Structure 1
Amino acid sequence: MASDPGFWSNLGASMRSLYRNRPSRQRKSSNNSSDTYQQLVHEDSIRLVYLLPSSNANDPIELTMIPARLGEKPRYRALSYEWGLQDDQHDPVIMINSRYPLRARKNLYEALKEIRASPGEFANYPLWIDAICIDQRQEYGEKPHQVRLMGKIFGQAALVIAWLGLAGWYSDLAIDALEACSQYGRLSLPKHCCFVTRILEPLEPKQTFDTYPPWMTMKAIMLLCNRSYWRRVWILQEIHMSRSLVVRCGSRSITDTDLNRAFHTLKSFECIPHMRYKETHLRNYYRDLTKFLCITGSSVPLRHLQARENGHRSFGQWLQICVDGNFQATERRDYLFALLAISNDMRDLDLTVDYEVPLRTVMQQALPAIRRSYCAIKEDDRKSWDSFSREVDQLMGFHFERDPYTRQSSFLLRDPYTPHGSLFESADLETHWYQRVFHYVVPCTR
């Protein structure tokens, strides 16, 4: 039989057939992914996830994903957080629907662990989390449409959880102090002045910060306010659109109402008698805090809350907040896309969230409207357009230069993804661009 040519021919055909019909890992993985992210049929379709409880904090995170429609008014909570850097080798894995693994960045994973450890607060509601509920595999698939819905998603959420990150240097102390400030904010003026005299005197002796010196409490508050979360550009939209907000750092949290009242109390610290302290380090800390929270008004969380209180703002005002607050974005288009939904003067602008459009093209479409919006701000409340445009140029990753011969300003739009020095395709195009945007758009007082 072994010498029969027909035997070997039939055996080879059988082996080839088995090889073609073998289970394919790649095909199986693809089907699993498609099962996890089933196509969103309706314009208002989203995905929500339930965080499964666990008695062991070290157990892996497991989620159950369900479809939902915004038009049906589902009750859910949205997570606002900082993505952080991606690390495919060390990022932990979470399980979706008990079968499908998905890598989550470290900051998100830590947030889910802390939320799971507080079942009484969050167990009854599903969560919306952009990194999980939006299919991130294809940059230009469903993502642009889902990003356009984010304003509605955060606006309809029963609660927005602002995750600052894990507990850091006395962050629990800072939240205790802010809660105490909020309670003192309800008191009458004499007691309030007594509170200023004895900084952050606790209402109850059991509160932990009673044993800490005042300068340590102040520094803890400053560090909490300076966390990088507050300076992400998407946070502007997520906080502004929220109906109810809770700020969470590690296992501790504070409501937006208490946080706002605490900052208004701290703003009254202009009368801090820091000069009565002989210790130089105490005087310096009080002076720094006074500048930080009162005189300069540079507390970024306070700016978020004030912007939320004041209601609608123009695109120029939002962009000014981004420039002055040194807000950050990994994708530079997001400086524009994140502000569209919360701006009251950009509805007529034909600019859609589309990450396939080059940054230069997006900027060309938006800049006339930006200039018109910014110049509509009262002169006393803004810089000159020439000065502001330079800052916008740097924010968007372009390079600003001044012509050494004419002494006139010109934007040399450089692609941030190419080596420094790449300009427009031609000098004529650059000249036409400069004239069209800066001379023939709308008059503006410089």
Structure 2
Amino acid sequence: MELLSPVPRYKYRPLENSTTIRVLVLYAASDFSARLVADIVHVDRKDLLRPMNSQDYPECCRFYEAVSYCWGDPIFTCQLALENGTSFLQITPNVDAMLRRMRRPHKSKYLWIDALSLNQADDVEKSHQVQLMGEIYQQAKKVLFWMGEENGQPISALFNYLNFMAKEFPRWMDKSYNDWQAQFMEQYPGALHNYLSRPWFWRRWIVQEAILGVDSTILCGEHKMDWKVFRFAVQRILSIKDYLPEHSPHPTPFPQSSSQLVNADLLRAINQVIALGAAPSKILHRMMEFRAAECSDPRDRIFALFGVVNDIYEPSNPSPNLSNSLGIAFSVDYSKPWNVVYCEFAKACVEAGHGNEILSHAAHFGSLSHADSLRPSWKWRWARNSVRTTFRPVTDTDPLHPIYNIN
């Protein structure tokens, strides 16, 4: 008896030009457990700029949705069937669950997903496509934020409460404190804190994905919520400190300090969400603002923020405005190891006139020389989260020690 040969792994076709992207066509299935079947098509981004009533280009050009998610543990135990089942791609359980939740029962869905739309084995392609990701998310019909399954959390109740809070918050200010203190205590801080502790909120790539999406929706298991409404409701929680309970004129059985309700961890998470609505800013400011956001590739500590900054330009294509106003000339290049990327980035910042800001990063990130004595101390270890070093003024009685190795 002849053994059947295994289905071959999918081979990516090279992209035709610098404006081409890959879109996943996820085929419909009414059965949640049915095999995931899809195709990968090439789309020229120039077609996205045509009028929406134009009928002479593929539907996926007009209706693709970009996905923001966490890869999850790098355990590729699931399969996505492609090319009529004649090839496959290995995917993680989280991506498998995400595709099943997004799949429609009767109509195909068009998705841009970095793990599938980029050839992860091609550093040259990835370097170029990463520079386009900001535009890819901006041009998407919708951006979908996949948070994972419910995992026993009261997601339905939480989303309902946040939707109600966003809608009714102004009217709440006119109600007695006790009326909505009880509602607050029923849902917070545990449910919201647990939700904001999900890996998605602390993933570095979501910064540009959340900021640049024109129409974004949160998906958690079978539940969904509009991203703008979610951010608005979460922002309102900061106002609660002005009304709970030490500010209340009424007797209350609740804790006598609002810090017990909105603790430091929850406050940090809320501020992270609020920052995801900010306008483009400077790269060094962004790196400090999102210093707690994580990524698996240390080079992405820098590269993942390029889509939401306004002072980076490609050296081969300088911008007249940036090159004359402290703009930083730097390219995305995944062929270089992370420590070389960090050194070259620090040098580019200094050459652009940002020397003082580079030195200030020492208070939060430490120096490469701590890990490698041959590295200059003014080039920082952006691969680590903030070490939050505290500087104090130097006095005349302090002994002098060499702090920086400038070379």
TM-score, length-normalised on structure 1?
A: 0.69
Cα 1:305/1:374, change in 2 over 3 Å:
farther
Letter in 1 for 2:362: S
Matching residue of 2:148: 165
Residue pairs, 1:403-442, within 5 angstroms: 410=377, 434-436=405-407
1:178 aligns with 2:162: yes
Higher Cα radius of gyration = 1
Shift of residue 343, structure 1, vs aligned partner: 1.1
1:77 aligns with 2:87: no
Matching residue of 1:132: 116
Structure 2: how far apart are the matches of 1:134 and 1:290? 40
Secondary structure at the aligned position of 1:59 is classed as coil
1:168-217 superposed Cα distances (whole Å, 9 cap, x missing partner): 322222212211111113537414967644435xxxxxxxxxxxxx3454
Structure 1: how far apart are the matches of 2:295 and 2:382? 16
Matching residue of 2:127: 144
| Overall identity of the aligned pairs, in % | 20
Matching residue of 2:284: 316
Structure 2: how far apart are the matches of 1:186 and 1:265? 10
Structure 1: how far apart are the matches of 2:199 and 2:226? 19
Cα 1:49/1:414, change in 2 over 3 Å:
closer
1:33 aligns with 2:2: no
Residue pairs, 1:54-65, within 5 angstroms: 54-65=29-40
1:389 aligns with 2:362: yes
Contact 2:124/2:333, CA 8 A, preserved across alignment? no
Structure 2: how far apart are the matches of 1:95 and 1:80? 21
Gaps of 5+ in 1: 1-23, 201-213, 378-383, 404-408, 417-430, 437-446
1:362 aligns with 2:341: yes
Structure 2: how far apart are the matches of 1:131 and 1:285? 45
Residue pairs, 1:253-402, within 5 angstroms: 253-270=224-241, 271-273=243-245, 278=253, 283=255, 287-292=259-264, 296=267, 298-307=269-278, 311-323=279-291, 326-347=292-313, 348-370=327-349, 386=359, 388-393=361-366, 398=368, 400=370
Cα 1:350/1:386, change in 2 over 3 Å:
closer
Of 226-235 and 361-370, deviating more is 361-370
Secondary structure at the aligned position of 1:72 is classed as helix
- Structure with more of its chain in helix, by fraction: 1
Contact 1:171/1:249, CA 8 A, preserved across alignment? yes
Contact 1:225/1:301, CA 8 A, preserved across alignment? no
Structure 2: how far apart are the matches of 1:80 and 1:134? 14
Structure 1: how far apart are the matches of 2:227 and 2:74? 30
Match of 1:106 among 93, 110, 120: 93
Shift of residue 108, structure 1, vs aligned partner: 1.0
Note the aligned Cα RMSD (angstroms): 3.6
1:50 aligns with 2:25: yes
Secondary structure at the aligned position of 1:126 is classed as strand
Matching residue of 2:53: none
Shift of residue 95, structure 1, vs aligned partner: 0.7
Matching residue of 1:208: none
Contact 1:400/1:411, CA 8 A, preserved across alignment? no
Structure 2: how far apart are the matches of 1:186 and 1:119? 40
Secondary structure at the aligned position of 2:370 is classed as strand
Contact 2:343/2:379, CA 8 A, preserved across alignment? no
Shift of residue 385, structure 1, vs aligned partner: 6.0
1:86 aligns with 2:74: yes
Contact 1:47/1:67, CA 8 A, preserved across alignment? yes
Cα 1:389/1:221, change in 2 over 3 Å:
same
Letter in 2 for 1:173: A
Shift of residue 305, structure 1, vs aligned partner: 3.4
Secondary structure at the aligned position of 1:165 is classed as coil
Gaps of 5+ in 2: 49-60, 314-326, 384-401
Contact 1:360/1:413, CA 8 A, preserved across alignment? no
Contact 1:226/1:300, CA 8 A, preserved across alignment? no
Structure 2: how far apart are the matches of 1:415 and 1:257? 30
Structure 2: how far apart are the matches of 1:167 and 1:155? 28
Structure 2: how far apart are the matches of 1:199 and 1:225? 19
Structure 2: how far apart are the matches of 1:385 and 1:172? 45
Secondary structure at the aligned position of 1:78 is classed as strand
Matching residue of 1:97: 83
Contact 1:230/1:300, CA 8 A, preserved across alignment? no
Contact 2:126/2:334, CA 8 A, preserved across alignment? no
Match of 1:232 among 189, 203, 212: 203
